[in-house]
Chains A and B, each alone.
Chain A
Amino acid sequence: MDFLNLILQLLDATIRVSVPLLLACLAGLYSERSGVFDIGLEGKMLAGAFAGASTAAVTGSAWLGMLAAITISVFFALVHGFASITHRGNQIVSGVAINFIAAGSTVILGQAWFSQGGRTPSLVADARFNAITLPFADTLREVPLIGPIYSELVSGHSLIAYIAFLMVPFTWWVLFRTRFGLRLRAVGENPAAVDTAGISVAWLRYRAVICTGVLTGLAGTYLAVSQNAGFVKDMTAGKGFIALAALIFAKWRPVPAMFACLLFGFLDAFAIRFQGIALPLIGKVPVQLMQALPYILTVILLAGFIGKAIPPKAGGVAYVKER
């Protein structure tokens, strides 16, 4: 039973760590599937976290926090769109710029508004998205195996966590079952085909980056208004890049994206749980190796040593009508 508990704890932690990764990863999926590369997921998530935490702190409402997070994150997504769609600027350069602007301004504004060294005030329970106990979680607890799994693992996460996992089938549905999804996938592969079909390439891509903004805003909200009780300087700590790695790992598909995020989340949770403990057979694994593993795996995948990740064909290139 102890072993089961250990596993459950580990998986529970995995889910918690995976939620922001998953949201950011799906966010990137919308943008990159439309042909706009986005290495600014990190920055948008951070800006969203800050806006969410500040608003929730001031208004006392988690929902207003979420709204603010999404608004600011969409704003940054639109800046990226303005640079890379309207002005055909370099998408990588634009993404890098957004990461810096977000990293700097969250601290400066946080210090100016709250004077707590870049932190936002600690949120009271009412101003956060708290754990939700699902129906029958307590009654079922005693049922062997299924009980603990349901009450520990499935129940007891915040609303945003459930939204994140629901976003997976939803995104799949949008991509493969709606007109918008069809066009989104088309414009990332061959914008000329979309253009000659009489559809605006720019408007389609703008809508895609807006979706990205909404989801990174949610990711930020989860970090600062749900998982933690407020914003801390640089609290995304590279999650935007792990999400990007997961996106590549999943070959830009929603369901594999979820598994990639869970895998990377599991590595993280595992590393924390078993820090410094010698494992049977392997011995003591440096925690840093576990932390670096998502990046190492992505490099190996990108190099085509294990399968091949082929990005959307038109990705990274601004659309110019050919003569």
Chain B
Amino acid sequence: MAQSAIELKGIDKSFGAVRANRDINLEIAPGTIHGIIGENGAGKSTLMSILYGFYQADRGEIFVNGQKTDIDSPNDAIAAGIGMVHQHFMLVHNFTVLENIILGAEGSSLLNTGIARARSELHRLEEEYSLDVDPDAIVEQLPVGLQQRVEILKALYRGAEILILDEPTGVLTPAEADHLFRILRKLKDEGKTIVLITHKLREIMAVTDNVSVMRQGTMVATRKTAATTVEELAELMVGRRVLLRVEKGEASPSGVKLSVKNLSVRDSRGVTMVDNVSFDVRAGEIVGIAGVAGNGQSELIEAIAGTRRAETGTVLLDGAPIDVAGSADPGELRARGLAHVPEDRHHVGLVLPFEENENSILGYHGMDFYLNGPFLNIEAIRSDARDKIEKYDIRPADCRLKTANFSGGNQQKIVLAREMEKDPGVLVVGQPTRGVDVGAIEFIHKQLIAMRDQGKAVLLISVELDEIRSLSDRILVMFDGRVVGERGPDATEGELGLLMAGVEAQEAAE
């Protein structure tokens, strides 16, 4: 085989105590499309950011076309012929396409010559790769698919021979994605090397020549795409982790507590994140929503809990509607018995500079129990906090300590204690054990089961498939904003993995 376009040897990178990449070795052959697949947080983006010089590796070497290359900044990467299309586009929104393309590669200190050259060069690139886009259009007025094309042109204009694309289809419609793949094949035919980062198996199978799988910061395998199957990749991606079996009896669900009908939600960019989703959660059951992060689960629970406005749809709580597309207010929903453990405890669920006892009333601070007229009833708040500390074994057992000084697991227990102890009818839980130590995970899982057994309706989202499988009585899988399948708790990892990766149910059954 010819010399590798890129070779990484022993790349290591830590952020604080988190090791994002461990001893990564990777070879990418020239003139191929090489996929890198893995769950969110597996370390794919970090690895590519190192290759593009945005971060520096703690250890390890990078070879480009056989030459050992030090990449200390994006400049070095550009000089080595590496271009990158970021997941969040690095475009200046109010610039024209042309201005965006020449930014950083203007040629001379006056723009006119650079602009003129860029215009003709752009014309050539358009012809060559059928990447047509109006050079004088303002970027923010272009649809996302075309904005992405500008990013690709930006890299090509700088003479990139190796093009990295980070989750490029995340914001695209299926038609746009297909168009992108045609462009990628064309680029490959012209001799470019493409690195495609994604968590979608369908894409890997559709366009790549080789595929590498990352899991928890390590590179677990590299395969020829033609010689592998989606099942093998799904298994490699998810891994055969020891399932934390939680002891639980049969669920005995009764009436519907929470009913979601035709709910659609857009994010701040206007991209539809939740697309016409319907399901019910009954009293006494845990409904888990599985999915790779970014497929609409977050927006779904935020809309249900009233912290994000929905576009359309209906949500019924105990049969009474919640105005999810209008004035739904988290405070009001709490009063109606809907408790919410948010995904992001650092910025949403807790106020880190607050004392523990202050956080133990967040959202419930208007209850008469905690107040004396307009004043906070400090005695009641603190004794209540101490009770919860004891019941939930929160350590250190000091309700006056700043919340930032608790470990992740104990912070999460603070949130859970607060949301569970008010006897809600419905509990919406996001990522209950993210960044939580093993001991606390078990405790939190037991609490969630206990809630179920008390007859509460629990809606759980988690990117940890284990967690979904061990806790849920029913599993819904979300992909691209839609619920693509429902399975029982006995569904296999492979089966769920395929659904999560967007392989249609029928295909998976074959």
A: residues with CB less than 8 A from B are 176-183, 185-186, 189-190, 192-199, 313, 321, 323
Contacts and interface: CB of A to CB of B under 8 A. Distances in A.
A185 B95 contact: yes
B15 A177 contact: no
Nearest 6 pairs of A and B residues by beta carbon: A197-B104, A198-B75, A193-B90, A198-B74, A179-B106, A196-B90
B402 interface: no
A198 B104 contact: yes
B372 interface: no
A180 B109 contact: yes
Nearest to A313: B93
A197 B99 CA distance: 12
B86 interface: yes
Interface stretch (B110-118, B186-194, B203-211, B393-401): B110-118
Nearest to B75: A198
Contact of B90 (A177, A182, A190): A190
Interface-centre pick from A189, A195, A196 (highest chain B CB count, 10 A):
A196
A190 B109 contact: no
Interface in B106-134: 106, 108-112, 114
A182 B103 CA distance: 7
A157 to B, nearest CB: 30
B102 interface: yes
Provide the main secondary structure of the chain B interface: loop
A192 B90 contact: yes
Given A179-B109, A179-B111, A182-B106, A198 B90 contact: no
Contacts of A178: 109-111
A192 B90 CA distance: 6
Contacts of B75: 198
Contacts of A199: 103-104
8 contacts: A177-B112, A178-B109, A179-B106, A190-B90, A193-B92, A197-B104, A198-B74, A321-B54
B94 interface: yes
Given A185-B92, A193-B91, A198 B112 contact: no
Contacts of B109: 178-180
A115 B104 CA distance: 53
A194 B95 contact: no
Q: How large is the interface on B (under 10, 10 to 19, 20 to 34, 35 or more residues)?
A: 20 to 34
B73 interface: yes
Contacts of A176: 111
A321 to B, nearest CB: 7
B78 interface: yes
Contact of B99 (A182, A196, A323): A182
Contact of B73 (A182, A185, A198): A198
Contacts of A190: 90-93
A314 to B, nearest CB: 10
Nearest to B95: A186
A254 B94 CA distance: 17
Given A190-B90, A190-B91, A195 B111 contact: no
A49 B73 CA distance: 42
Contacts of B91: 190, 193
Contacts of A180: 109
Interface in B51-105: 52, 54, 73-75, 77-78, 84, 86, 90-95, 99-100, 102-105
Interface-centre pick from A185, A194, A197 (highest chain B CB count, 10 A):
A197
Nearest to A198: B75
Contacts of A195: 54, 74
Given A189-B94, A190-B91, 5 more contacts: A179-B108, A189-B93, A190-B93, A193-B100, A197-B103
A313 B93 CA distance: 9
Contacts of B108: 179
B104 A194 contact: yes
B366 to A, nearest CB: 31
Contacts of A183: 103-104
A186 B112 contact: no
B111 A182 contact: yes
A131 to B, nearest CB: 35
A195 B114 CA distance: 20
B102 A182 contact: yes
Nearest to B76: A198
Interface-centre pick from A177, A179, A185, A313 (highest chain B CB count, 10 A):
A179
Contacts of A177: 110-112
A72 B273 CA distance: 53
A179 B73 CA distance: 20
A181 B110 CA distance: 9
Contact of A193 (B54, B77, B103, B112): B103
A189 B92 CA distance: 6
B95 A197 contact: no
A189 B75 CA distance: 21
B76 to A, nearest CB: 8
Nearest to A180: B109
A197 B54 contact: no
Interface in B194-221: none
Interface-centre pick from A176, A195, A199, A323 (highest chain B CB count, 10 A):
A323
Contacts of A186: 92, 95, 103
B340 to A, nearest CB: 26
B199 to A, nearest CB: 19
A221 to B, nearest CB: 28
Contacts of B100: 193
A195 B103 CA distance: 11
Contacts of B94: 189
Nearest to A193: B90
A4 B79 CA distance: 64
Nearest to B53: A198
A231 to B, nearest CB: 37
